[in-house]
């Protein structure tokens, strides 16, 4: 009977240690299933005001420095399809994991194709998306290494080639 008690005690201790030391996903909610606004969502009126302020405060600087060929204005926005964004996020997350990074977000950069680009893109503005996150220190840690986590650009190919817009918000 004593041997059975030791076996049961050993199983219980083994189960507790397995629970404590096996890596598992953190339960972080990714979306509100009730349709509530997530943090950072602004009203359409606020977006229109931001767009108007951008044009008012930056128009002369951009128009004076960029010589866009043809009747098109300098690009003010970029649009990607939902499928393109979802596919890119899946790709970027997979590539980030492969090279030892935890992807935690994305950063949008402004860019310009410059004088040496093809005619349709010459001197046109663009935007591109870069994954951000932090380097994984240990894959099997009991405590996630979030204390040293600093979101940085992850060395994964960015997403570009969206459809541009010439006007402000809304288009």
- Element containing residue 48 per DSSP (H, E): helix 44-65
pLDDT, one tens digit per residue, over 65-79 is 455 555 556 667 788
pTM tops 0.75, yes or no: no
Question: Which residue, among 170, 161, 167, 171, has the nearest Cα to 59 in the 3D structure?
Answer: 167
pLDDT, one tens digit per residue, over 19-43 is 777 776 655 555 556 667 767 777 7
Domain ranges of the chain: 41-165
Q: How far apart are CA 157 and CA 92, in angstroms?
A: 8
Question: Which residue, among 65, 88, 91, 92, has the nearest Cα to 78 in the 3D structure?
Answer: 88
Q: How far apart are CA 63 and CA 67, in angstroms?
A: 7
């Amino acid at each position: 009977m004593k041997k059975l008690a030791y076996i049961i005690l050993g199983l219980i201790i083994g189960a507790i240690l397995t629970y404590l030391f096996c890596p598992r996903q953190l339960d972080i909610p990714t979306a509100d299933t009730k349709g509530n606004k997530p943090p950072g969502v602004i009203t359409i009126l606020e977006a229109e005001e931001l767009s108007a302020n951008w044009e008012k405060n930056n128009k002369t600087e951009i128009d004076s420095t960029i010589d866009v060929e043809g009747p098109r204005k300098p690009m003010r926005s970029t649009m990607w399809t939902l499928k393109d964004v979802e596919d890119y996020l899946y790709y970027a997350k997979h590539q980030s994991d492969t090279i030892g990074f935890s992807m935690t977000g994305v950063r949008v950069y402004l860019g310009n194709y410059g004088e040496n680009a093809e005619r349709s893109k010459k001197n046109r503005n663009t935007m591109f998306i870069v994954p951000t996150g932090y380097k994984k220190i240990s894959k099997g840690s009991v405590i996630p290494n979030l204390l040293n986590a600093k979101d940085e650009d992850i060395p994964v190919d960015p997403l570009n080639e969206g459809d541009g817009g010439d006007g402000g918000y809304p288009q």
